[in-house]
Amino acid sequence: MLKGRLTSLRPLERSDLPRFIDGMNAEEVMWHLGPHLPISDREAEAWLERVSTNEDSKIFAICDRDGKMVGELALDRIHHRNRSAELVIAIFDEPDWNRGYGTDALRTLLRFLFEQMSFHRVQLLVHEDNERAIHVYEKLGFVREGRLRDENFRGGRYTASLVMAVLADEFRPDD
Ligand SMILES: CC(C)(COP(=O)(O)OP(=O)(O)OC[C@H]1O[C@@H](n2cnc3c(N)ncnc32)[C@H](O)[C@@H]1OP(=O)(O)O)[C@@H](O)C(=O)NCCC(=O)NCCS
């Protein structure tokens, strides 16, 4: 388990799937992450089976201080030679947003990757209008590397996404 100040990260287990499905199917989360079609139990089980046996992915449950799962953090496209990976994060319930969980979970994972695992680069994609997420990423040292025009169709129109990444020596572990 990786321990932060407000959150801890542990591997996502099969028993977490009901909470995971509820969280990922919440309308506000689907809007920011996708949109995607709602995920079924069967799809989630097949996905977890696939990613758990795949060396280039790792999925974490984000837990609060009481051990309650408040979100998920997925590390994907882990590339050992390049020491790089991509990530996706979601705090499931809107009332839990802006409580510091996202920053703390990301900081905890990045600290581990850069300081313990010798990673060099972590990147992500974010919708250009997701100002909260972009603020959090920039606070931790991510920089905007590119803008993908019309990358997503959502809410009846095309919107852009940003490619953001942080290198080991750019990571800002402290507030
Ligand atoms: C994006 C997300 C992971 C951030 O986690 P969080 O726990 O809500 O964020 P935190 O509480 O750690 O930090 C929020 C920060 O954003 C700031 N913020 C809030 N709304 C904002 C806005 N509209 N514009 C700019 N900054 C904003 C807060 O002031 C706070 O910054 P501060 O700590 O410097 O004061 C979380 O809100 C989430 O999962 N949202 C839904 C899914 C999602 O968007 N995932 C990311 C997809 S790329």
Ordered by where they begin, the domains of the chain are 2-122 (3.40.630.30)
Measured at the CA of 90, the angle between CA 32 and CA 170, to 5 degrees, comes to: 95
Residue 101: CB within 6 Å of ligand 1?
yes
How far apart CA 15 and CA 60 sit, in angstroms, is 13
Among 29, 98, 110, which is best to mutate for testing ligand 1, by the most ligand atoms less than 8 A from CB? 98
User: Does 35 sit behind a cis peptide bond, omega within 30 degrees of 0 on the bond before it?
Assistant: yes
pLDDT in tens, the chain (175 residues): 999 999 999 999 999 999 999 999 999 999 999 888 899 999 999 999 999 889 899 999 999 999 999 999 999 999 999 999 999 999 999 999 999 999 999 999 999 999 999 999 999 999 999 999 999 999 999 999 999 999 999 989 999 999 999 999 999 998 7
* pTM for the predicted model, two decimal places: 0.97
Decide if 86 contacts 123 (C-beta within 8 A).
yes
